[in-house]
Amino acid sequence: MANRGNFSGRIGFILAAAGSAVGLGNIWRFPYLAGSNGGAIFLLVYLTCILLLCYPVMVGEIAIGRSANSDAYGSYNKLGGRKWGYLGLFGIMAGIFILSFYNVVAGWAFGYFLHISFGDLLNHQDFGGFFGDYVNDILDVSSVAGLANSNFIFSLVFMALTAIIVSQGIQKGIEAANKIMMPSLYLILIGIIIYSLTLPNAFSGVKFYLIPDFSELKIKTVVDGLKQAFFSLSLGMGALITYGSYLSKKENITSSALVISVADTSVAFFAGLMVFPLVHFLAFKLTIDPQQIGTSGPPLIFVVLPQIFSEMGLILGRIIGGSFFLLVCFAALTSTISLLEVPVAYLVDQKKMKRKNVVWLLALLIFICGLPSMVSQGMIPAFNKLTFYRGQDFLTFIADMSDICLTVGGCLMCIFISRQWGIANMDAELTHGNDGYMSSKTRSFLHITIQWVAPVLLGLLSILIIVEKFFGIDNLI
């Protein structure tokens, strides 16, 4: 295929794929899921899912993409025929849904970065009230300390930043941006962890996070752990098929996937290590029980953390809080570019459209698709309480549907490899750049997991996730 672009080498690919993986999922969702699922026990379940289910799916996706050298649809179509092409299209649609709501949350974080660093958000007394107003009235252009307070504008700017990067292509855009943002992200994260560990009561937070209490292990812990692991590693929707298609045959896929999984998991792990000491510090300051601080749900980083930053005093709060939200923005941006690249690659490869035009067109369309999520936080009541979805809001609905698409997509990908493309073809692809692969233990492990363990468990868990979403799992078990 004519000049589709490629990564300059192993490091570029790993940083871009790890950039896709490291995102709001690690910093926004992982800590609150861990917080509401018993801390350490959730971490244990999560790590098991990564090893047993996610790593094999990741290797499979990258192998499919590199072998076919095409976008998500083109890859399945080329290796498995037209019917399987629909699986690629399913993934592309899932990516569009994810980006539509993901960009809204990224816009919240971008606004918070500006408001904490340059505005007077930290002087607010009522952080819950501020967040409620902020996500509710998306068109509020009144200024808060000289800054417009419109989530509509913040999200639009975020989508434009994503489009600018993706329009520059693989090496000059995606790879270059990740090479700057990923190392910065790690530096900021480590800096904040070191600081938060010096705070009073920090180690009580570390204990909660690291010492498992097995009595907390429930079906919900496993369901939440799995869907979080899939979302976090950007699996099941073709992002890694697309990135894999830009990877040279010289590179070793199994070891690259290992590095990507470790990089992503370490950021989620570190995010917990950053957040729980902060939460326990706040509990100490307010002389309340840490359990009383609402660590469950999205408000964790938008309500609880700003309150903690404000307890640090204005200057330090601005520095630590501003850095924290800059970190969130970097993490989100490295993910939104991968989400946008999936449909872009499809239109560039299949419809022979020009990258620049496609990027801007899709960015605008997906931004518009995100509007229902944006107004679902109170502004338009019909989107705020969906009658067919247990009274939940549209953003939650679309995020939940994406979770289902990812595990179903991962399950079908395993079936595709074992029943259609053939595990021997996957082996042949994995041998490129890895001479010892055929006689390695990794090969046996991948055979067992991709052919049996992953499709069965992913199938079962997908059913459980669907039941949980529509009926509530607590009613069942």
Query: Rule CB under 6 A: which residues touch ligand PFF?
Result: 20-21, 23-26, 95, 98, 231-232, 234, 237, 239, 335, 338-339
Q: Smallest distance, Å, CB 91 to ligand PFF?
A: 9
Q: Smallest distance, Å, CB 331 to ligand PFF?
A: 7
Angle between helices 72-80 and 82-117 in degrees, nearest 10 = 160
Q: Pick left, alpha or beta for residue 450 (phi over 0 → left; psi -120 to 50 → alpha; otherwise beta).
A: alpha
Quick one: 122 or 174, whose CB is closer to ligand PFF? Answer: 174
Of 53, 72, 56, 54, which is closest to residue 64 (Cα–Cα)?
A: 72
Residue 156 to residue 10: CA distance in whole angstroms: 33
Question: What is the SS3 assignment for 403?
Answer: helix
Q: Smallest distance, Å, CB 182 to ligand PFF?
A: 13
Contacts for 199-203: CB closer than 8 Å, 24+ residues apart: 199/277, 199/278, 199/281, 200/281, 200/284, 200/285, 201/277, 201/280, 201/281, 201/283, 201/284, 202/277, 202/278, 202/280, 202/281, 203/277
- Taking the CA atoms of residue 53, residue 54, residue 57 and residue 58 in that order, the dihedral angle to the nearest 10 degrees is -160
Quick one: 47 or 197, whose CB is closer to ligand PFF? Answer: 47
Quick one: 27 or 122, whose CB is closer to ligand PFF? Answer: 27
Quick one: 227 or 443, whose CB is closer to ligand PFF? Answer: 227
Residue 326 CB partners (closer than 8 Å, separation 6+): 113, 117, 188
Residue 322 to residue 316: CA distance in whole angstroms: 9
Q: Smallest distance, Å, CB 341 to ligand PFF?
A: 9
Q: Smallest distance, Å, CB 338 to ligand PFF?
A: 5
Quick one: 31 or 290, whose CB is closer to ligand PFF? Answer: 31
Quick one: 173 or 290, whose CB is closer to ligand PFF? Answer: 173
Structure tokens at 199: 């705070």
Quick one: 239 or 345, whose CB is closer to ligand PFF? Answer: 239
Quick one: 14 or 122, whose CB is closer to ligand PFF? Answer: 14
Structure tokens at 303: 């309500």
Distances (CA, A) of 123 to 31, 106, 148: 25, 23, 17
Quick one: 167 or 338, whose CB is closer to ligand PFF? Answer: 338
Residue 236 to residue 245: CA distance in whole angstroms: 15
Quick one: 28 or 127, whose CB is closer to ligand PFF? Answer: 28
Q: Smallest distance, Å, CB 374 to ligand PFF?
A: 18
Q: Smallest distance, Å, CB 94 to ligand PFF?
A: 8
Report angle CA 288, 290, 293 to the nearest 5 degrees: 90
Q: Tell me which residue has tokens 């459209």.
A: 353
Q: Smallest distance, Å, CB 335 to ligand PFF?
A: 4
Residue 140 CB partners (closer than 8 Å, separation 6+): 133, 134, 149, 150
Report angle CA 456, 459, 460 to the nearest 5 degrees: 85
Quick one: 232 or 407, whose CB is closer to ligand PFF? Answer: 232
Q: Smallest distance, Å, CB 23 to ligand PFF?
A: 2
Q: Smallest distance, Å, CB 424 to ligand PFF?
A: 28
Structure tokens at 431: 């041998």
Q: Smallest distance, Å, CB 95 to ligand PFF?
A: 6
Cα 358 to chain centroid distance, Å, stands at 23
Structure tokens at 278: 């902060």
Residue 396 identity (one-letter amino acid): T
Residue 277 identity (one-letter amino acid): P
Question: What is the SS3 assignment for 147?
Answer: strand
Quick one: 16 or 116, whose CB is closer to ligand PFF? Answer: 16
Q: Smallest distance, Å, CB 339 to ligand PFF?
A: 5
